[in-house]
Amino acid sequence: MDCPVIQLAQELISRPSISPDDQGCQALLIERLEKVGFTVEKMLFDDTANFWAYRGADGETLAFAGHTDVVPAGDETKWQTPPFIPTIINQHLYGRGAADMKGSVAAMVVAAERFVQKHPDHRGRLAFLITSDEEAKATNGTVKVVETLMQRNERLDYCLVGEPSSQTQLGDIVKNGRRGSITANLTILGTQGHVAYPHLADNPVHRATNFLQELVSIQWDQGNEFFPATSMQIANLHAGTGATNVIPGEFFVQFNFRFSTELTDKIIRERVEEMLARHQLRYEIEWKLSGQPFLTRTGKLVDATVQAIHEFTGRTTELSTSGGTSDGRFIAQMGAQVIELGPLNATIHKVDECVSVHDLQQLARIYERIMELLLL
C-alpha cells in the first residue's frame, strides 16, 4: 500500500521484537528522525534499547512516547497469517504489534516528518521517548530514561503515549490517567505435621481464613470523579505438598490492589499489616509497587487532543482512567501532562492482532494536528 504510515508499520511488524529484543526497530526510527533534524540519544540499560530524541529550541516540550517491543505470538498455527509477516486483509493490517503499538509508533513518526516539513521553524521542542521494555519487566525502559532525564532537569510539559486507548471507534476514549498498582506476596507461617495429629501442627490455611475474609470485604474508598473505587483481587494461592495426609507449614497468598488517588501505597501497606497483626498471624510479606496513580486534568494537552479528534472524526471524546498500567505512570513523575491515545484495543495480545488501515492513517493526522496546536 502506497501510504508512509502503513509502510512503516509493516516494516516494524516484520521485525519479531519480543520484549526486550528490539530487533532493529529503533534503528529504523532513529534513521528517519535524524533525517528531519532530530538529535537522538540512545540509552541502553542492561538488555533494553531506548532512545530520547528531540528537535527544536528551548520552550515547551511535547513528547510522543511508545514502545517497539511486543508480546510473544504464541501458537503461530492459530493465526490466519504469520504474525511477523504483515498482511492487509479487508483493509485491516494484521500482525503482532499492529495495534500494540507499532501502528501508533509509525503514525507518530510519520506525523512528525510531515509536521517538520511544513513547519521547520516551529516553536518549542518536539520529542520522542521510545523503549523496548514495556511488555515484560518494564525495569530498564521508560523508568530508567525518565530517571536520567530528571537527573539533568530536562523539561517535559506534554506527553502523548500511543497505547491503544480506543474502544469501539478511533478516538472515542482517551486515557487521562491510570490507577496505581501494588502487589503483596504474603506467606502465612505455620507448623507442618500429620493430618491425624493436628495438635502437633499449626495449619496456616485455617489461621488465615478470617484475615482473608476481612481482606476481601473491605471497601477501601469510594473513588472520585476521575477514578473508580480501589479494587483488591486475590491472584494466587498455594499451600501443601500435594499429599493428602500432610498439614502445610506455609500458605502463600498473592493479591493486587488497583488504587485511586484517594489512597496511597503507604496506607494500603499499613492497613494490611495491621490486620495481619490483629489476627495474630506469623507472616512474611513482600510488596511490589508497579506504579503510582496519575491524573491529567483538563489543560492544553487534553484540549488539543479532544479538538484534533473532533476535527478529523467528528467524535466527542470520553476521558477515562480505566484499564491497567502503562509507561505513562513513569513519565507523569516529570510533572508533565500525560494522556494516552491510540487505535482500538479489541485485538491486543490476541491471535490475529490487527488494526484498521484507515484508523492508522487518521491517527497520524490527529497526532500531526496535536503538534500544530501545541507547537505553533
Q: Is 157 a catalytic residue?
A: no
Per residue in 141-177, is it b (16+ CB within 10 Å) or e — as a string? bbbbbbeebeeeebebbbbbbbbbbbeeebbbbbbbb
Separation CA 63–CA 51 (nearest Å): 12
Output DSSP code: residue 216: H
Among 6, 80, 101, 121, CA closest to 327: 101
Separation CA 158–CA 151 (nearest Å): 18
Q: Is 69 a catalytic residue?
A: yes
Tell me which amino acid residue 85 is.
I
Among 58, 41, 39, CA closest to 49: 41
Asked if residues 300 and 62 have their Cβ atoms less than 8 Å apart, the reply is no
Q: Which of 69, 135, 327, 359 is catalytic?
A: 69
- Helix H, strand E, coil C: the string for 134-202 is CCCCCCCCHHHHHHHHHHCCCCCCEEEECCCCECCCCCCEEECEECEEEEEEEEEECECEECCCHHHCE
Among 133, 79, 160, 166, CA closest to 355: 166
Neighbours of 229 (CB within 10 A): 15
Q: Which three cell numbers stand for residue 96?
A: 503482532
Per residue in 253-282, is it b (16+ CB within 10 Å) or e — as a string? bbbbbbbbbebebeebbeebeebbeebebe
Separation CA 205–CA 105 (nearest Å): 48
Among 229, 226, 374, 220, CA closest to 295: 226
Strands 158-161 and 337-340: parallel
Tell me which amino acid residue 375 is.
L
Q: Which of 21, 22, 100, 134 is catalytic?
A: 134
Residues annotated as catalytic are 69, 134
